[in-house]
Chains A and B, each alone.
Chain A
Amino acid sequence: MSQAAVAEHDLGIEPAESPLTPESWGKLGMWVFLAADAMSFGGLLAGYGALRYGDPTWPIPKTILGIQLTAFMTFLLICSSVTMVEALAAIRAGDQAGLRKYLMLTIMGGMTFLGLQAFEWTKLLFIEGESVAKNNFGATFFILTGFHGCHVFGGVTYLSAVLGRAVRGVAGAIVTAVVAVACTFVLIVVTSHFVSGLVAVIAAAAGAGLVYLVSSALAGPRPTYDAHNNNEVEIAALYWHFVDLIWILVFTFVYLI
């Protein structure tokens, strides 16, 4: 490794070496991962379409699923995408406080989404009597929305790690991400035991508040990201927007059509 590359590595800046991606190897890596992940979702959606098209007894989704609630969840993810681009814009302008604020709002959006999904699943499983084993509708619904929910959970953890890193390097990232995982898990458990979507929102706000307090308590003397070094934030943002993009398709194909 050249001296320049070592110096760049020490500063957390990636060397610009490739004509394929002069900006960032990390960004290229994330795009390749997202393309592979999109094919997983594409396979699941294609399988869903094939099963549904071949079954004349397939129920009309809007008679079973709560369209208004999921429309709100869709709107929530769209809002979280906006806060994510605002977080990136903030750090590109060198605004550390803006980055932390918008990242926190994005994490809160993801947590609320998961809480509402736990609420929706509880209602379907224990009140409506649906299940993954009941019929193809149940199997495809729970697998598709569950797979997406896992991505949202991963996204909340990932963004929490970025938030932790924004305040205190790797140690902060690990502690904040662990707190986010614990908060999200508790949120899901709490929400799935109370049949009220409002509980999800309140629990998410409380959980996100705890993540924020932990990250604030960890605040280090020197910020990790600035106007010149924000590649990690951009890569994390790509993942979060992908989760939003996939939900737009899942919402249409599974809930609306």
Chain B
Amino acid sequence: MTVHTPEQLAHEHRRYLQVFFWLALLTAVELAVVYPHISTLAKGLMLVVLAATKATLVALFYMHLAVERRTLAYIALTPAVLCVFLLFMLLPDLGAFTRALTHATPVTAEAHE
């Protein structure tokens, strides 16, 4: 078990508070982005980038991945990579997207009857 020196602990304490400040600030920015009338795509992209930044900050500094062995970082990255892969696998089945690509008309209730 690694024993931390008082200097290391003081440095970590400062880092924790800095990360907290950034997490709170980024959450406030997220709220500021939600309400103005800007395009859905731009808003979505900004929110995804902000959320990914916050999640990375938590993983790096609160879960200590920044100072851990690289093996643990690989384990942590695996689900992220697999989820992106899953999204690409689902992409062909996304209704509106598929309709736009194939120019097929949506199935209406009348067509069913």
Which residues of A approach B to under 8 Å, CB–CB?
Answer: 13, 20-23, 27-28, 31-32, 34-36, 38-39, 42-43, 45-47, 49-50, 53-56, 62, 67, 71, 74-75, 78-79, 81-82, 84-86, 89, 92-93, 227-231, 237-238, 241-242, 244-245, 248-249, 251-253, 256-257
Q: How far is the CB of A55 from chain B (nearest CB, A)?
A: 7
The 8 Å CB contact of B63, one of A35, A228, A242, is: A242
B66 CB–A CB distance under 8 Å: no
B38 CB–A CB distance under 8 Å: no
Alpha-carbon gap, A35 to B79, bound state (A): 6
B37 CB–A CB distance under 8 Å: no
- B66-102: which residues lie under 8 A (CB-CB) from chain A? 69, 71-72, 75-76, 78-80, 82-83, 86-87, 90, 93-97
B13-57, CB under 8 A of A: which get 1 and which 0? 100110010011001001101100000000110011011001100
Alpha-carbon gap, A49 to B24, bound state (A): 26
Alpha-carbon gap, A230 to B18, bound state (A): 24
Whether A53 and B87, one on each chain, are in contact in the complex, defined by CB atoms closer than 8 angstroms, is no
Q: 15 extra interchain contacts, Cβ-Cβ under 8 A, other than A75-B27, A228-B1?
A: A22-B69, A23-B1, A32-B75, A39-B79, A43-B83, A54-B94, A56-B96, A82-B16, A85-B62, A86-B13, A89-B12, A241-B62, A245-B59, A245-B63, A249-B55
Q: How far is the CB of A171 from chain B (nearest CB, A)?
A: 24
Could you show 5 A-B contacts with beta carbons less than 8 Å apart?
A35-B78, A81-B23, A92-B3, A252-B48, A252-B51
Q: How far is the CB of B44 from chain A (nearest CB, A)?
A: 5
- Residues on the A chain within 8 Å of B12, using CB: 85, 89
Whether B27 and A67, one on each chain, are in contact in the complex, defined by CB atoms closer than 8 angstroms, is no
Alpha-carbon gap, A71 to B3, bound state (A): 37
Tell me what chain B mostly uses at the interface: helix, strand, loop, or mixed.
helix
Q: Given A21-B69, A39-B83, decide whether A229 and B31 contact each other with a Cβ distance below 8 A.
A: no
Whether B55 and A85, one on each chain, are in contact in the complex, defined by CB atoms closer than 8 angstroms, is no
Which residues of B approach A to under 8 Å, CB–CB?
Answer: 1-4, 6, 9, 12-13, 16-17, 20, 23-24, 27, 30-31, 33-34, 43-44, 47-48, 50-51, 54-55, 58-59, 62-63, 69, 71-72, 75-76, 78-80, 82-83, 86-87, 90, 93-97
The 8 Å CB contact of B72, one of A31, A39, A49, A56, is: A31
Q: How far is the CB of A239 from chain B (nearest CB, A)?
A: 10
- Residues on the B chain within 8 Å of A56, using CB: 96
- A74 — nearest CB in chain B belongs to which residue? B27
Q: Given A21-B69, A23-B1, A242-B63, decide whether A93 and B96 contact each other with a Cβ distance below 8 A.
A: no
Whether B79 and A38, one on each chain, are in contact in the complex, defined by CB atoms closer than 8 angstroms, is yes
Whether A248 and B54, one on each chain, are in contact in the complex, defined by CB atoms closer than 8 angstroms, is yes
Q: Given A20-B71, A54-B94, decide whether A45 and B83 contact each other with a Cβ distance below 8 A.
A: yes
- Residues on the A chain within 8 Å of B76, using CB: 31, 34-35
Q: How far is the CB of A241 from chain B (nearest CB, A)?
A: 5
- Residues on the B chain within 8 Å of A252, using CB: 30, 47-48, 50-51
Most buried by A among B2, B24, B62, B69: B62
- B77 — nearest CB in chain A belongs to which residue? A35
Whether A256 and B2, one on each chain, are in contact in the complex, defined by CB atoms closer than 8 angstroms, is no
- Residues on the B chain within 8 Å of A49, using CB: 87, 90
- Residues on the A chain within 8 Å of B13, using CB: 86, 89
Whether B1 and A248, one on each chain, are in contact in the complex, defined by CB atoms closer than 8 angstroms, is no
Whether B59 and A53, one on each chain, are in contact in the complex, defined by CB atoms closer than 8 angstroms, is no
- B88 — nearest CB in chain A belongs to which residue? A46
